[in-house]
Amino acid sequence: MTSGKGGVGKTTSSAAFATGLALRGYKTAVIDFDVGLRNLDLIMGCERRVVYDFVNVINGEANLRQALIKDKRTDNLYILPASQTRDKDALTQEGVGKVLEDLKADSFDFIICDSPAGIERGAAMAMYYADDAVIVTNPEVSSVRDSDRILGLLQSRTQKAEQGGTIREHLLITRYNPERVESGDMLGLEDVLDILAVPLIGVIPESGGVLQASNSGNPVILDTESTAGQAYDDFVRRFLGETVPHRFLEVEKKGIFKRLFGG
Amino acid sequence: MSSQAFELKGEMSLLSVLLLSATNMSEIQTTLDEKRENAHQLLDRSPVIVDCQKVSEQATELDFAQLRKMIAETGLIPVGIRNLPEALENAASESGWALLRHGHSRVRATTLPEKTEAVDEDNATAVDSSDDDGTTAAVQRLRVVQRPVRSGQQIYCPDGDIVVMQQTSAGSELLAGGSVHVYGALRGRVLAGVQGDKTARIFCQNLEAELLSIAGRYRLLDDIEDDLKGQAVMVYLEGEKLKIAPI
């Protein structure tokens, strides 16, 4: 999960994505690459259970089993938190590769790498071994430009690219607000797709449910009432090969009751 | 760090190249005078490097001190000289010329010789002189790019054409010795004829380019007529003028 720009919803999306895969029975690990600015543990609600972290494992100070935190709500889901006291230089290509190989050997089906913002070491390490990349973008020009830059790096700075292959790219648009698109404050879906020219895998509507979920440490995908939770579920199903129509793209027509009593 | 008065950095700059095709000093003077008549505003105070590639056989006839003076009197600022036979490097150096090692911008023999030409010149740190002797491997005449060219990516084909099968993004850069074809939206910068080939052209399906340049003559998106933006166009040089025509 990568984006270039910060604050677009990478960690929220990583947590939702990993949870969604695990809910469908896949053994899934989600790794926080944002060493020094660790957040994933908060979003996943496991911040009080962090003993060892990703950097400890890379440095051989702990083994993978000690550092992986098993999610309490969802079976098959494990979190590998970032170190808060180190910085991105602690990540080495060999070290990251070894951790990923060990996870594969431990029969994990999916490993979600939650990239930090930027294009420096942390982001480079998160993308290097990827088979698939989900590019998280907000419908505004600077986020789209940064995603475009990341797409360029994905073509050259990955192991797959170095071996002459390509990684699969998926575009996930988050914080989509149809009202603001209609009023011209926000880029429309068509504009974003036109600039980035990458297959769309999901559109997550802007929703109060996301902030609520983050603050309470519950991945938003578990909130099946919220539009964002439903949209993340659609995204996971599409990733697994199902054909699911996109939802929440149009301005919601408010009925008389909603207008009277508020939505 | 703040106690240092400056930093010394190597960087790429756009410089005009004066490609000599004669060594007779009065002949050079005549051409310089003509240039001053025709384009003095264009040339005024712009830095220029002298390329002796075409005259390296007769370069002994050059008077380096006088050449420097003549160029300065035209209003140009002579910064360096390149492609000199080694035997003459000392003489040029003593006359105050900076000797430039050859970078990547070998000028093709087909280029018209009489004009100054803007090329990318690594003017500070170029130390690679491995291709000075002209024994470079087969040059690439065509570079085909199948994927979108993203922001921050640069496609460089110094001796040939570039064909992009998709779009290019804002913040990307195409640099071709020859022509450039883009079968999609052209949103980045595109420089054709970077070694001075004025017959180079640019073609695209949808013109939104930040910058268009052929052989050093350039236009920015803001300078482009609104009715041409978003259109399929061909860009070419007519004399000194960069023309854009719908196709």
What number is the ipTM of this complex? 0.78
The number of beta carbons lying within 10 Å of the beta carbon of residue B61 is 11
Closest CA in chain B for residue A151: B150
Residues of chain B in contact with residue A149, where contact means CB-CB under 8 angstroms, are 150-152, 171
Segment B196-216 shows an average pLDDT of: 95
Residues of chain B in contact with residue A194, where contact means CB-CB under 8 angstroms, are 185
Q: How far apart are the CA of A151 and the nearest CA of chain B, in angstroms? A: 7
Residues of chain B in contact with residue A195, where contact means CB-CB under 8 angstroms, are 169, 187
Q: Binning pLDDT at 50, 70 and 90, where does residue B14 land?
A: low
Alpha helices in B75-153, H assignment, sequence order: 86-94
pLDDT of residue B78: 84
Which of B150, B166, B167 minimises the CB distance to A152? B150
Are B150 and A194 within 8 A, CB to CB? Answer: no
Q: Give chain A as a DSSP string.
A: -B-SSSSSSHHHHHHHHHHHHHHTT--EEEEE--TTS--HHHHTT-GGG--S-HHHHHTTSS-HHHHPEEPSSSTTEEEEPPPSSS-GGG--HHHHHHHHHHHHHTT-SEEEEEPPSSSSHHHHHHHHT-SEEEEEE-SSHHHHHHHHHHHHHHTTSSHHHHTT---EEEEEEEEE-HHHHHTTSS--HHHHHHHH---EEEEEEP-HHHHHHHHHT--GGG-TTSHHHHHHHHHHHHHTT------S-SPPPP-HHHHHH--
pLDDT of residue A262: 53
A148 close contact with B: CB closer than 8 A: yes
Which of B152, B166, B167 minimises the CB distance to A152? B152
pLDDT of residue B110: 37
Are B150 and A145 within 8 A, CB to CB? Answer: no
Q: How far is CA B246 from the centre of its chain?
A: 26
State both tokens at B142: 């065509």
Are B150 and A149 within 8 A, CB to CB? Answer: yes
pLDDT of residue B113: 34
Q: Is the Cα torsion angle B184, B190, B192, B195 positive or negative in sign?
A: negative
Cα(B162)–Cα(B142) distance, integer angstroms: 6
Token pair 């910060």 in the structure block, residue: A6
With a cut of 70, say whether residue B123 has pLDDT above it: no
More confident residue, B93 or A114: A114
pLDDT of residue B134: 42
With a cut of 80, say whether residue B109 has pLDDT above it: no
Residues of chain B in contact with residue A153, where contact means CB-CB under 8 angstroms, are 152
Per-residue pLDDT tens, chain A, 263 aa: give them: 999 999 999 999 999 999 999 999 999 999 999 999 999 999 999 999 999 999 999 999 999 999 999 999 999 999 999 998 988 899 999 999 999 999 999 999 999 999 999 999 999 999 999 999 999 999 999 999 999 999 999 999 999 999 999 999 999 999 999 999 999 999 999 999 999 999 999 999 999 999 999 999 999 999 999 999 999 999 999 999 999 999 999 987 766 666 666 54
A155 close contact with B: CB closer than 8 A: yes
Q: Binning pLDDT at 50, 70 and 90, where does residue B112 land?
A: very low
Q: How far apart are the CA of B109 and the nearest CA of chain A, in angstroms? A: 34
Report yes or no: B110 and B79 within 8 Å, Cβ to Cβ.
no
Q: CB burial class (10 A; 0-12, 13-18, 19+) of residue A51?
A: exposed
Token pair 């990341």 in the structure block, residue: A150
Are A145 and B151 within 8 A, CB to CB? Answer: yes
pLDDT of residue A258: 60
pLDDT of residue B70: 86
SS3 B60: helix
B185 close contact with A: CB closer than 8 A: yes
B169 close contact with A: CB closer than 8 A: yes
B145 close contact with A: CB closer than 8 A: no
Report yes or no: B35 and B66 within 8 Å, Cβ to Cβ.
no
Q: Binning pLDDT at 50, 70 and 90, where does residue B117 land?
A: very low
pLDDT of residue B125: 29
Number of A/B CB contacts below 8 angstroms equals: 35
More confident residue, B114 or B87: B87
